[in-house]
Amino acid sequence: MSNQADLVWMIGGPQGSGINLAAETLTRCCMRGGLHVFANIEYHSNIKGEHSYYRLRIAKERRRSHLERVDLLVALDRETLVGDVHKSEVTHRGHLHEMAPGGAILFDSGNGPAPGDPSREDVRMFPVPFRDILLEALRMYGREGEVGKLQIMYNVIGLGASIGLLGYDQDLVTRVIAEGFKGRKAALADLNVAVFRRAAEYAMERFATSYPHRLSVLGGSGGRVMMRGIQAVGMAKILAGCGLQTYYPITPATDESDYLESRQGQFPTAVVQCEDEISAVLMAIGAAHAGVRASTSTSGPGFSLMAEGLGWAGITEAPGPVVILYQRGGPATGLPTRHEQADVRFALHAAHGEFPRIVVAPGDAEECFRTTFEAFNWAERYQCPVTVITDKYTASSYSTIPPFETSGLKIDRGVVFTPPKSGKDGFLRYKFTKNGISPRSRLGDRGGIFWTSGDEHNERGHIVESAENRVKMQTKRMTKLVTAAKEIPEGMMWTLHGPADAEVMVVGWGSTKGPILDAIEELETQGVAASFLQLRLLLPFPGDAVRKVLRKAKTHVMVEGNYGGQVRGLIREMTGVHVRRLVHKFDGRPFSQDEVREGILQQLKSARRPAVMSHA
Amino acid sequence: MSNQADLVWMIGGPQGSGINLAAETLTRCCMRGGLHVFANIEYHSNIKGEHSYYRLRIAKERRRSHLERVDLLVALDRETLVGDVHKSEVTHRGHLHEMAPGGAILFDSGNGPAPGDPSREDVRMFPVPFRDILLEALRMYGREGEVGKLQIMYNVIGLGASIGLLGYDQDLVTRVIAEGFKGRKAALADLNVAVFRRAAEYAMERFATSYPHRLSVLGGSGGRVMMRGIQAVGMAKILAGCGLQTYYPITPATDESDYLESRQGQFPTAVVQCEDEISAVLMAIGAAHAGVRASTSTSGPGFSLMAEGLGWAGITEAPGPVVILYQRGGPATGLPTRHEQADVRFALHAAHGEFPRIVVAPGDAEECFRTTFEAFNWAERYQCPVTVITDKYTASSYSTIPPFETSGLKIDRGVVFTPPKSGKDGFLRYKFTKNGISPRSRLGDRGGIFWTSGDEHNERGHIVESAENRVKMQTKRMTKLVTAAKEIPEGMMWTLHGPADAEVMVVGWGSTKGPILDAIEELETQGVAASFLQLRLLLPFPGDAVRKVLRKAKTHVMVEGNYGGQVRGLIREMTGVHVRRLVHKFDGRPFSQDEVREGILQQLKSARRPAVMSHA
Amino acid sequence: MLKLEEVKTDVFNDWCPGCGDFGILSALQQAIAELEVPREKIAVFSGIGCSGKTPHFLNVYGIHTLHGRSLPIAAGAKLANKDLTVIAVGGDGDGYGIGAGHFVATGRRNLDLTYVVFNNGVYGLTKGQSAPTLAKGLRTKSMPAPAIVEAVNPIALAICAGFTFVARSYSLSVKHLKATILAAIRHPGTALVDVLQPCPTYNDLHTKEFWAGADTPDKKPRWYDLQQEGFDAVVRDPEDGGEVVRKKTAGVMKSLEGGEREPVGVFFEWKTATYGEQLAARMPLLAEKPLAEADFSGRDLTPLLAELA
Amino acid sequence: MLKLEEVKTDVFNDWCPGCGDFGILSALQQAIAELEVPREKIAVFSGIGCSGKTPHFLNVYGIHTLHGRSLPIAAGAKLANKDLTVIAVGGDGDGYGIGAGHFVATGRRNLDLTYVVFNNGVYGLTKGQSAPTLAKGLRTKSMPAPAIVEAVNPIALAICAGFTFVARSYSLSVKHLKATILAAIRHPGTALVDVLQPCPTYNDLHTKEFWAGADTPDKKPRWYDLQQEGFDAVVRDPEDGGEVVRKKTAGVMKSLEGGEREPVGVFFEWKTATYGEQLAARMPLLAEKPLAEADFSGRDLTPLLAELA
Ligand SMILES: Cc1ncc(C[n+]2csc(CCOP(=O)(O)OP(=O)(O)O)c2C)c(N)n1
Ligand SMILES: Cc1ncc(C[n+]2csc(CCOP(=O)(O)OP(=O)(O)O)c2C)c(N)n1
Ligand code: SF4
Ligand code: SF4
Ligand SMILES: [Mg+2]
Ligand SMILES: [Mg+2]
């Protein structure tokens, strides 16, 4: 199946207009029909009114990234078509210009293009009378009077019109819609279904004949689930036994805490909203010392407040926390709801001084799950903070994937102390050992009384300023990283997708995994044989192994979602290999498959300067 | 003059026993007599009682570092001789074992070695009856009753005994002591002089014949001054017109704020003690936007709280602040009064996201002066935060140096805006320009009204989330670094001391400058020709130039005061050159000349593993 | 007096329809227009939140800072240029949550600036989590469960922290709010105006209707004007420590009062030396001109070097 | 009841001779000895400062944290193990300065923990700068000039922030202090004990002699015991909102009182639901055992995956 056979559906409208629900319902419907979906969203840092859109790539096989083109667009407002022309400064051009030739647009005939707006000859424009359809459906329930309030159901009309146009199984969709209205909301199910049906019929009758694309059920879902990064992380935390999740609200991390909190009756993770991120990281550390697996999730601005706490966790050898860092557009508040991969150097070096820590970058939801689970093991085994660095793209994109394989996952709480039979004091919490790891007790353990300090300390944890103790204690601590580098399986450190001696080796980390994999598959069909070296463990960095792999490649191209090529620099620092060719992107949006492909081709042609991608 | 001819004098005693005053007086006396002094101090994070010591290296030529040996030791207590044997865990062995053969110890006969204490055959032990000498002097003024309270004058006895033993000019010392007691304290001058004289005579009479070393006046001071790093920074701030200094107390940075505050009547720098370092950095940034040159000074823990603020300064293109980061032993509270060079990677990357900033590392007090002065120019010219990264060794060590040359220093406030004649609005604070620099107005300027935001913004400073604006604005901002890299004189970026093709090129940064320069001078006499590449501008890093210089060297050795070889990594990242040989130290103490020399020799013999120096 | 149009910008306002922020913005615009201060001598600082966007809608210097950090940045600007009229604005999460430390320290410092807090009981921009002002036991629609922490009492906190002008108003009572903001700006010292603000999107408890008392038997607003009821918040003799204590206590007591209706108006007011005035006593330059206008060219370090000779 | 020797460590104490910290340490040791709680169920957290060294001298779990950050870390430990007796200690700079934000938030949260603040008016360990408790206009010996910011009033601040037990004592009145600390520890909820503490090295104003009133005509101490004078700080009916307000107001008023002598004792006490109790209502596990003892092996994600199918 070529990319051309994929269907890219998009729904756009103001924040608060329910495009999420429409998109998620469609995803679920496709999944249930045996199709694969990759879905991503773009929205402003705003609650109501600014332009947002969801993009679904629907395919017969797994897809891991989005494409630039749109085949079918649902426009809930004029802005979706032509941009924010109502502002004193126009900041985007809408999506009309992104339409694939032969594509179609379903738009609200009450809120569509205005005279003089740009138009496209090669795109079919299907006006849908949203208000009339809603009114008709409401009339069935004698609720016409509520048409204003219930405009929120325009999203269902968009969904319905799409289904009608594409000829997809309406009964399946009806079931999915009905499932969505349970409990208190059950009364709304019928109304929504009615609206959906009307819209579907309307579109089918009027437009289907003049639009060739069809979407059909292939079979069952194959057990697949639709998974976002934050859900994958949340489930991993639950499975790993995370007992305390602290947080301070921040996009896009909050959703993960909400996820855990709403399940805390069933799976007891105490979710605590803190006064700030300083407190969030410190509470988690305090809990870790007391024997609870603890975590906090944030994005850049919050992480910036956690530096000092991380250093304290490092020197006191706290068995945690696990910090999930969801990168977003920076610096400062930056582009709060947008994507970037620009916090990585900071994550590696946050806090003054030197201490052991682990930084690991999963590439997609599945890796988020596995990595987060292991992060708790590492935090306890190596008694150090572990940062899982991911991003907005991973956090909020959906894809349909097989359910997680959990059988291989083992909980490892590291070396815990054995209470002395005598009950006597004298436990050495910071005992000098060869591998740097000292057995640990938990606050409250009998026979395990210890002291600890952010000041340099001796084996008992009391402050000592001597040079000799310092050298030994600092060496002991840092040795844990050497131990970790030996023990962590290579498969968690890096993955080479494809042959080492391919024509081009693409190098990336984190959420570029999806677009790179999709792009090299496409490149293959265009006669360019490429492999992909995915870096995962960034600290301790597997320098020797990575150098060896890189040396085997004929040409390298680095792909990174930041300005500076931060991991490219890290690779050079750690291996001496300079990946000269760079494809980067820092416009607040994730790489599409197309951008990666184009960028690679561009760099292969000329590496005089990096390729800056920004399909605006 | 060989190092052997230098005299190393040390005074040790409990915190609060006034060793500082004795050491500083002796330094001044030597300086006035035409001698050169390098002085450094070690003390605990404690107010009264823990062991502290001052070490003076007195020479006929300039010295930039300390030696390991002690020629003459003044021991105000037994701990200075044999260590903290009164504690449940002994953490140091005192200084007896550091004595040079033939050296001498002046100790308080009332508080000297105890039976069974270690002793040295090759060291002369001169007991001095501190209490009796004090009593005798007090008797002259009828103040014997105050002997308990005035024990604080034991330091003067230590000084006096040293001067007597060494045969130095007592009149000169008397004058210096008297100068020290002015204003409210004038009444104490005579008493101090009397105590000094008695002690000097006592030592001269009893011990001088059995001790060969003499110290004599060589001439005048040659206009030299005794300068610590914090004073150099303070003076630079005054000369640069720093109008606001914010701070939160922290060792060893506080002294600099105290310095400015105590002179604020004469030189109007508002010194504000803030509620924390978050506030300190932000207030300075707010002031910078309002047109005042603003600065804050801190050490690691404080800097850890400043990350978010730095990012905001970066994206809003604030013309400041200048942050002085005095590194100390980390991580966390670490070794709060000790030395380390381990915050540099953090200083380079503090805060999420990417923004322009300048990080520069002066190597000694003179460079602190020059660099800090220029830092204010750069902050305004490039409208970005500038971090001057120095350390405890530089901050608190004294040396006798020629007064600063200020004639070449020019104040440069960068591109300021011209108020429109019309008085109309429409100023573009973030105008896209080729070199990335936009003219700036100050809050309060007529015709200069602007907005700014930590969110991505347009030329006016209003929030805009468009991809297109983002790419342009981020590129504009980052381009300032390219501009800075072109404009900052190479002499401020790096210095090559000695020939590029010397047998060994030692590479270092910051306060290792002194010990490296002294060590390579000594190595020369031992037949090893070494040069020293001193890195100063760390961001933007002059990669091309440094690579070229490094490529010329036959062998390199990196010398760094940290565990990880952080700048070694930076060099590799930026130039591709891996400086394989590493001499490092992370015991909370600065490198001595001896340690650098030994470390280099060790690495030249074998580079199998880095040389860890710790003369404990 | 400026024309209202002159203090507005053309920036697109993307607050939710019906948001109480609009009322606060109006009041700010009117206050600034009436202030008799040239526009360029006014600087408005904000934190992050829906409320944080406010400066972009005001045609004066506008500095949109970080979450919880508007006060220190505003303080720095005021220190740099004492001739600036400095106004900080922001959300209740911003000011009383993450910013509580600065809030206390700012009160103690008593620089001449005004802080207007948009008190909507929720974290608006992050989608409706409870803000520190939401009372224990309450649950707004986007919360999974009721709040289990006590709310802050910003009025009491401000008085205890040292704010010298402490008031409250209601965002849809624009006239009262404008007058309160003007009084706060004119007050020489640190002033707080806590503004009760409906967030129709997330706070379904403290709605416009709630404040209007639509559901009460007598349909009377759920707030009343302290001053109309004769409450005297003003310290008459600024040097009289006893009176200061009495007025502080009265203000705190009023703020704790509880009951059906929330008092609005001035809770405490005391004219005492500002930080700036005290600093000027130490730095004579400040009595003459703002720090930003100091001439520092050609300074001579000789006396400083002489100390070290 | 433990022997005093059992709660001491052999760690060398390097506080200055005559430091008031010694009195606080004694009182803490005595309180811990009397507490009838096994040593391993007690954890003492501290900030950074002279006072920060305290845990090293107590033979219980001792966690010496960061400057201003003892409270969140202590809170984390308490959340993890509700069976721990959690005591946080630290300086006035630590708690009311850099830590003020956490102080307010901790009060609001009402976890069951005790906070003992060493109030010496100075930043001891950084050599005597003014702490937030030093009154405006005062100048201790290491300050270049008198303070120009208002002092915080920790008692009022704590009451307004939501602490449910708020007391003050004097470090050299070890008996009173010990009793106060014990009462604070036994109080179910967040308790503050502000301890007036001489720092002979840097605070030459509030010396032992000053507190003893050595310079006053009648040589009476500069403090008096609130409870001895009949002050009733305790909310009798925890559900009576009116009484809570009255008792809070009385406490605040007492703390503002001023005058020759400083009141010590309990200013406010209210037994109300703790954070832990409320959390347990949502997480049944917590009613059974501490989080740290939860068994989480073999969890099954099937229901969670099913939501997404
Ligand atoms: C350090 C940091 N943490 C978290 C955030 C995310 N954040 C943005 S706005 C906001 C809260 C807004 O609530 P409030 O201050 O009450 O303002 P409102 O939106 O209600 O006006 C938060 C937590 C941030 N920007 N920075
Ligand atoms: C983030 C940070 N800033 C500054 C410091 C330096 N510091 C150490 S102790 C201290 C103040 C101590 O004062 P206080 O809290 O009153 O305790 P005391 O020494 O008086 O007992 C400060 C500012 C630090 N350790 N960490
Ligand atoms: S979320 Fe609430 S506070 Fe924010 S704009 Fe909407 S109504 Fe206003
Ligand atoms: S400086 Fe003050 S508080 Fe610190 S130990 Fe000495 S006397 Fe005590
Ligand atoms: Mg709010
Ligand atoms: Mg203190």
Which numbered atom of ligand 1 lies nearest the CA of A249? Answer: 23
B407 falls within a domain = no
B220 falls within a domain = no
A221 falls within a domain = no
Task: Please tell me which residue of chain D has the smallest CA distance to C93.
Answer: D105
Q: How far is D244 from chain C (nearest CA, A)?
A: 9
Ligand nearest to the CA of D94: 2
Q: Which residues 143-182 on chain D approach chain A with CB closer than 8 angstroms?
A: none
Q: Is B453 on the interface with A (CB under 8 A)?
A: yes
In a shared domain, residues A484 and A347: no
d(Cα B537, Cα B375) in Å, to the nearest integer?
Answer: 11
Is the shortest distance between the CB of D122 and ligand 2 below 6 Å? Answer: yes
Check: pTM over 0.95? Answer yes or no: yes
Coil/strand/helix, residue D108? helix
In a shared domain, residues A337 and A272: yes
Q: Are the C-beta atoms of residues D112 and D184 closer than 8 Å to each other?
A: no
Which chains lie within 8 Å of chain A at 3 or more CB pairs, if any? B, C, D
Instruction: For chain A, give the mean pLDDT.
Output: 96
Q: How far is D99 from chain B (nearest CA, A)?
A: 9
Pairs from B483-492 (Cβ < 8 Å, separation ≥ 24): B483/B382, B483/B435, B483/B436, B483/B437, B484/B356, B484/B358, B484/B378, B484/B381, B484/B382, B484/B540, B485/B540, B485/B542, B487/B381, B488/B378, B488/B537, B488/B540, B490/B542, B490/B545, B492/B360, B492/B370, B492/B371, B492/B374, B492/B536, B492/B537
**Number of neighbours of residue B55 by Cβ within 10 angstroms:** 24
**Number of neighbours of residue C205 by Cβ within 10 angstroms:** 16
pLDDT at A1: 42
Could you tell me the CATH number of the domain that includes residue B582? 3.40.50.920
Is the shortest distance between the CB of D250 and ligand 4 below 6 Å? Answer: no
Residue C49 Cα to ligand 5 middle (Å): 7
Could you tell me the CATH number of the domain that includes residue A44? 3.40.920.10
pLDDT band for position B1 (50/70/90)? very low
- Per-residue pLDDT 10s for chain C (309 aa) are 899 999 999 999 999 999 999 999 999 999 999 999 999 999 999 999 999 999 999 999 999 999 999 999 999 999 999 999 999 999 999 999 999 999 999 999 999 999 999 999 999 999 999 999 999 999 999 999 999 999 999 999 999 999 999 999 999 999 999 999 999 999 999 999 999 999 999 999 999 999 999 999 999 999 999 999 999 999 999 999 999 999 999 999 999 987 889 999 999 999 999 999 999 999 999 999 999 999 999 999 999 999 999
In a shared domain, residues A383 and A334: yes
Name chain A contacts of B345, Cβ cutoff 8 Å.
348-349
**Number of neighbours of residue C144 by Cβ within 10 angstroms:** 13
Q: What are the structural domains, with CATH classification, of chain D? A: 4-308 (3.40.50.970)
Q: What is the strand order of the sheet A504-509 is part of?
A: A494-497, A530-535, A504-509, A555-560, A581-584, A611-612
Q: Is C124 on the interface with A (CB under 8 A)?
A: yes
DSSP string, chain C: ---GGGGB--PPP-SPTT-THHHHHHHHHHHHHHT-S-GGGEEEEE-SSSGGGGGGGBSSEEEE--TT-HHHHHHHHHHH-TTSEEEEEEEHIIIIIITHHHHHHHHHH--SEEEEEEE-SEETTTT-EEPTTSPTT---TT-SS---SPPP-HHHHHHHHT-SEEEEEETT-HHHHHHHHHHHHHSSS-EEEEEE---TTT-SSS-HHHHHTTTSTT---SEEETTTTT---B-SSTT-HHHHHHHHHHHHHHHH--SSSEEEEEEEE-----HHHHHHHH-HHHHHS-GGG---TT---HHHHHHT-
Contact (CB<8Å) D127/B254: yes
Q: Are the C-beta atoms of residues B130 and B157 closer than 8 Å to each other?
A: yes
**Helix, strand, coil shares, percent, chain B, to 5:** 40, 20, 40
CA A500 to chain CA centroid, Å, is: 28
Q: Which of B248, B251, B333 sits opposite D98 (nearest CB)?
A: B248
Pocket test of ligand 1: the residue of C13, C54, C94 to mutate, having most ligand atoms within 8 Å of its CB, is C94
Q: How far is D2 from chain A (nearest CA, A)?
A: 15
What is the 8-class DSSP label of residue A335?
B
Is the shortest distance between the CB of C223 and ligand 1 below 6 Å? Answer: no
In a shared domain, residues B444 and B582: no
| Element of type H or E holding B492 | helix B490-493
**Whether residue A186 has pLDDT greater than 90:** no
In a shared domain, residues A279 and A368: yes
Which residue lies with its CA nearest to atom 4 of ligand 1?
A250
The residue out of B367, B401, B435 marking a domain boundary is B401
**Whether residue D37 has pLDDT greater than 90:** yes
What are B339's two structure tokens? 């030395």
What is the 8-class DSSP label of residue A431?
-
pLDDT band for position D63 (50/70/90)? very high
What are B206's two structure tokens? 């009893």
In a shared domain, residues A313 and A445: no
d(Cα B501, Cα B553) in Å, to the nearest integer?
Answer: 5
Name chain B contacts of A547, Cβ cutoff 8 Å.
none
DSSP string, B1-56: --GGGSEEEEEEEETTS-HHHHHHHHHHHHHHTT-EEEEEEE--S-SSSSEEEEEE
What are D10's two structure tokens? 């052999």
In a shared domain, residues B483 and B498: no
pLDDT band for position B616 (50/70/90)? low
The residue out of B488, B514, B544 marking a domain boundary is B488
Helix axes B566-575, B543-552, angle to 10 degrees: 100
Residues 6+ apart with CB under 8 A from A361: A344, A388, A389, A390, A509, A510, A535, A536, A537, A538
Name chain B contacts of C48, Cβ cutoff 8 Å.
454
Q: What is the pLDDT of residues A7-30, one digit of tens each?
A: 999 999 999 999 999 999 999 999
Contact (CB<8Å) B312/A332: yes
pLDDT at A2: 61
ipTM, two decimals, is 0.98
pLDDT band for position B229 (50/70/90)? very high
A67 falls within a domain = yes
Is the shortest distance between the CB of C67 and ligand 1 below 6 Å? Answer: yes
Q: What is the pLDDT of residues B557-566, one digit of tens each?
A: 999 999 999 9
Which residue lies with its CA nearest to atom 11 of ligand 2?
D123
Is the shortest distance between the CB of D154 and ligand 2 below 6 Å? Answer: no
d(Cα D157, Cα B460) in Å, to the nearest integer?
Answer: 42
Q: Are the C-beta atoms of residues A341 and A515 closer than 8 Å to each other?
A: no
Q: Which residues 38-57 on chain A approach chain B with CB closer than 8 angstroms?
A: 44-45
Contact (CB<8Å) C150/D162: yes
Is the shortest distance between the CB of D48 and ligand 4 below 6 Å? Answer: no
Q: Is B266 on the interface with D (CB under 8 A)?
A: no
Segments forming the whole domain that contains residue B397: 226-401
Domain count, chain B: 4
In a shared domain, residues B12 and B54: yes
Which residue lies with its CA nearest to atom 5 of ligand 3?
C15
| Element of type H or E holding A369 | helix A365-382
In a shared domain, residues A84 and A96: yes
Q: Which residues 81-110 on chain C approach chain B with CB closer than 8 angstroms?
A: 81, 83-84, 101-102, 104-105
DSSP string, A149-170: GGGGGHHHHHHHHHHHHHT--H
A215 falls within a domain = no
d(Cα A244, Cα D290) in Å, to the nearest integer?
Answer: 12
Name chain C contacts of B244, Cβ cutoff 8 Å.
76, 79-80, 291
The residue out of A363, A379, A401 marking a domain boundary is A401
Q: Which of B16, B88, B333 sits opposite D10 (nearest CB)?
A: B88
A220 falls within a domain = no
Extended beta strands in B444-554, E state = 451-453, 494-497, 504-509, 530-535, 537-539
In a shared domain, residues A121 and A48: yes
In a shared domain, residues B302 and B364: yes
d(Cα A395, Cα D190) in Å, to the nearest integer?
Answer: 37
Residue A154 Cα to ligand 1 middle (Å): 30
Which residue lies with its CA nearest to atom 5 of ligand 1?
A250
Is the shortest distance between the CB of C19 and ligand 3 below 6 Å? Answer: yes
Q: Which residues 231-270 on chain D approach chain A with CB closer than 8 angstroms?
A: none
B216 falls within a domain = no
What are A181's two structure tokens? 């209205």
d(Cα B120, Cα C208) in Å, to the nearest integer?
Answer: 87
A462 falls within a domain = yes
Q: Which residues 578-607 on chain B approach chain A with CB closer than 8 angstroms?
A: 578, 586-589
In a shared domain, residues A483 and A510: no
Cis peptide before B321 (omega within 30 of 0): yes
Task: Please tell me which residue of chain B has the smallest CA distance to A308.
Answer: B304
